[in-house]
A = this chain, B = another copy of it.
Amino acid sequence: MDSKVSVCRFFVVLLVSLAMGHQHSAQARLLKDKPDRHNAAATARWLVSQNSWGSLNTISTDLGGAPFGNIVSFSDGEHNSGTGIPYFYLTTLDPTAQNALKDQRSSLTISEYPLGTCGQKDPENPSCAKLTLTGKLKVLKEGSEEAEFAKIALFTKHPEMKGWPKSHNFQFFKLDIEDLFLINWFGGPKPLTVEEYLHPKT
């Protein structure tokens, strides 16, 4: 019986590890519960604080002015103390930073789906929340106060970035938000101003 229990214990430890592994990859940093769906500002801020990556979209002159989406990591602050403003660590070796330096028009698109809280719903189902922040993608002046904030925000959530090659000349960028498009239920996008988003009522 002791050996059965010990085999059993082994499986429990293994499965906890497996479950934690999946949780890590799928739900990294899901530190807050999803807000009430009627609270658009809180929902949008939750999506930005809990997601760590999205599609950052710029205008590509190389591709005839096409909208060019690129997978990037972002951060709006340290864990659970975000400002709602997404910061990025980009190199001009990549087209996104090149595009933004020519034309700042940009959007960041993120989804609730990879957080693992949409259950069995389809990713396009309106009750599986999605958010598009549209604005201007701006490079931050090296050594400025905001660049230092971006550095802490990004390196806290993306520690690997600290070791990225200096020769690639990564720079800190921010998305200066001008418009929000949030779907988190049926009935079309939720009305939400930049002011409401940046200063949400709790």
Q: At the interface, yes or no: A43 with Cβ under 8 Å from chain B? A: no
Q: In the assembly, what is the distance between CA of A114 and CA of B69, in Å?
A: 16
Q: At the interface, yes or no: A171 with Cβ under 8 Å from chain B? A: no
User: A interface, by DSSP: helix, strand, loop or mixed?
Assistant: mixed
Q: At the interface, yes or no: A105 with Cβ under 8 Å from chain B? A: yes
Point out the residue from B25, B53, B181 that lies within 8 Å of A119, measured CB to CB. B25
What 0/1 readout, one digit per residue, does chain A (1-34) give for beta carbons within 8 Å of chain B?
Answer: 1101100110110011011001111100000000
Q: In the assembly, what is the distance between CA of A161 and CA of B126, in Å?
A: 12
Tell me the minimal C-beta distance from A89 to chain B in angstroms. 8
Q: At the interface, yes or no: A158 with Cβ under 8 Å from chain B? A: yes
Q: In the assembly, what is the distance between CA of A82 and CA of B9, in Å?
A: 42
Q: At the interface, yes or no: A49 with Cβ under 8 Å from chain B? A: no
Point out the residue from B1, B15, B55 that lies within 8 Å of A19, measured CB to CB. B15
Tell me the minimal C-beta distance from A23 to chain B in angstroms. 6
**In the complex the two chains form, is B8's CB within 8 Å of A69's CB?**
no
Q: At the interface, yes or no: A107 with Cβ under 8 Å from chain B? A: yes
A139-181 residues with Cβ-Cβ distance < 8 A to B are 158, 160-161, 178-179, 181
Q: Which residues of A contact B (CB under 8 A)?
A: 1-2, 4-5, 8-9, 11-12, 15-16, 18-19, 22-26, 52-55, 57-60, 63-73, 89, 93, 95, 105-111, 113-114, 116, 118-125, 130, 132, 134, 158, 160-161, 178-179, 181, 188
Could you give 27 example pairs across A and B, Cβ below 8 Å? A5-B5, A8-B8, A11-B12, A11-B15, A12-B12, A15-B15, A22-B26, A26-B116, A55-B69, A59-B67, A63-B178, A67-B68, A67-B105, A67-B106, A69-B69, A70-B130, A71-B109, A71-B110, A71-B123, A71-B124, A71-B130, A73-B122, A73-B123, A89-B124, A93-B188, A122-B160, A124-B158
